[in-house]
Chain A
Amino acid sequence: MNKSEYKIIFTGPMGAGKTTAIGSISDIPPVQTESFNNDQEVHSKATTTVALDFGQIKMDSEYVVNLYGTPGQERFSYMWDLLADGAMGVIILIDGSRDDAKDQLLNFTKHFAGISSSSPIIIGLGYHSNDVVWDSDTLSRTIYDEGYALPIFTVDVRAKEDVTLMVDTILCLIEAAEE
């Protein structure tokens, strides 16, 4: 194999759209892979498996971008760190029609911004019902006030263009940092 492999991480609470987003841009049907939970401190059953979403963008013979969807529950956050290590970027998905969207956003933002990596972080805000409980301006100000000037985009990850917008932003941020 002579491929250079890269990765992009999709994270966020359960039901936020990780599997859907990966499906929108993956060149292979997204699969669930299992990974052993070997952290007994966190989970008592050593044999518990953790489901990860996995997809791939296969550009040509030379490059592959692996797409990982993290397990949503916070008790698996040790997995988040492993996955995010060396990633090109992290996409946090949040459902803005849920009451707890703001708290979820703060949790995920703090966690991923805290991981010692300089990967760009993009927040994708979807509305899975017609209730706009949290609008992007309010959430953007909320995390800004906490010290995070991160992009928050209103998206529908069922649409490929909305997912590529976030990927493109990751690429642009990498390029802007490179110059």
Chain B
Amino acid sequence: MNAGSSNQRLTIALAKPTKTLNDEAHTFDLLDRFIVMCQKKTNYPWEICDVDQASVIIAFEGDNRIEDWHSSGRIIVLVQNSRRPGKHYHFTITNPIRVMHVLDLLNTVGEHLLANPVKITATPTSKPSTVQDSAPGEHWALLSAIKTVFDASSPQTAFAIEANGQPKLWLTAKLSQCKISEDYFNNFSQLMSAKIQSKTLENHNPPESAILINGTELLWRSAIDSTQNAQDRAPWLPGNSIYKLKRWPDLGALRAKANLVRMVSTLAKKYVTPEELTQATGSDNRETMAILNALGACGLIDAKPSERQVSSQTQAKPAAKKPEGFSKMIKSLRRHLNI
């Protein structure tokens, strides 16, 4: 296949883990997008390709194909969960992955590869995998894609998120300038079952018909739609935790209903477990998890290990005027205003 020091091609592939734990799937997604984002910014002409054709393979710790790939002459970049010496593999990348790590990695490995060209001796029989693909309907694909763009983007960069090969969302770091195609605006949940890709754009030129949508609303809607049941915790939301609001979502832009207002207000006052939140607000467990996932996606929530008990932190300041009958008055006011 490719060999020869004079014309060494810089080919790289991200190997999809064979068994995906929830967190690995998220890391895979992140890496996937970071590589695409960094591709144009590296000092070297990297080509993203299938594992079979790659001189460099980024693989997850524990993937049993690594030995084969390694002995066929490829350079392995090991994705590991904690920083420790990477056996005989030269290169490692450690969770949590940052876009700058990926850029550094591409530069370092590029330099190394040009100085030490590889000769691939045999093509492993592994299933091909491409970096840009997310399987159709992959659980957190859309949300991860949007989140990644907002987490990583600099104000100068614009992104398109494609669904089944067609650009459908146009994102910039300025949340108020995001756009969505008309068809998906009205049928957002359609996006959840599409194959998602994100691309850096040279210029931000959505079609005339695209509809302005707030970035927070995009994250929010996709988080709600991604959460199918009460066990469905998004990969970036720590488990076994108590949660408290860090900063408020724009409930006006989200056209919040009473239940959401109650949940967010409760979270603003104290650390709670999802169960306590459900109980305090009279909602259901799936809705609670969806909202925690959405707040997490927007970076608006704080989490602490749940060993700490809740009651000691609930001492909020009393409201200014709270005579007898206050809660009766609140009830009556709600009824009057039709809330």
Contacts and interface: CB of A to CB of B under 8 A. Distances in A.
Contact of A59 (B266, B336, B339): B336
B332 A165 contact: no
Contact of A171 (B216, B318, B334): B334
A119 B261 contact: no
Nearest to B314: A179
Contact of A137 (B176, B316, B325, B339): B176
A60 B332 contact: yes
A175 interface: yes
A148 to B, nearest CB: 10
Contacts of B332: 59-60, 62-63
A168 B329 contact: no
B101 interface: no
B319 A178 contact: yes
Interface string B247-270: 110111100101001101110111
B21 interface: no
A77 interface: no
Interface residues of B, number: 47
Interface in A128-179: 132, 135-137, 140-141, 144, 149-155, 162, 164-165, 167-169, 171-179
A117 B314 CA distance: 19
A154 to B, nearest CB: 4
A171 B251 contact: no
Contact of A164 (B269, B319, B327, B338): B338
Given A140-B247, A151-B251, A175 B175 contact: no
Contacts of B247: 140-141, 144, 149
A79 interface: no
A137 B215 CA distance: 9
Interface in B257-301: 258, 261-262, 264-266, 268-270, 280
B246 interface: yes
A153 B253 contact: yes
Contacts of B333: 57, 59, 63, 65, 167, 171
Given A4-B329, A177-B269, 18 more contacts: A4-B325, A57-B336, A59-B333, A59-B335, A63-B332, A86-B320, A117-B320, A119-B319, A135-B214, A137-B216, A149-B245, A149-B246, A151-B268, A168-B334, A172-B266, A175-B330, A176-B265, A177-B318
In order of increasing CB-CB distance, the 6 nearest A-B pairs are: A153-B252, A172-B265, A135-B176, A118-B317, A154-B252, A151-B248
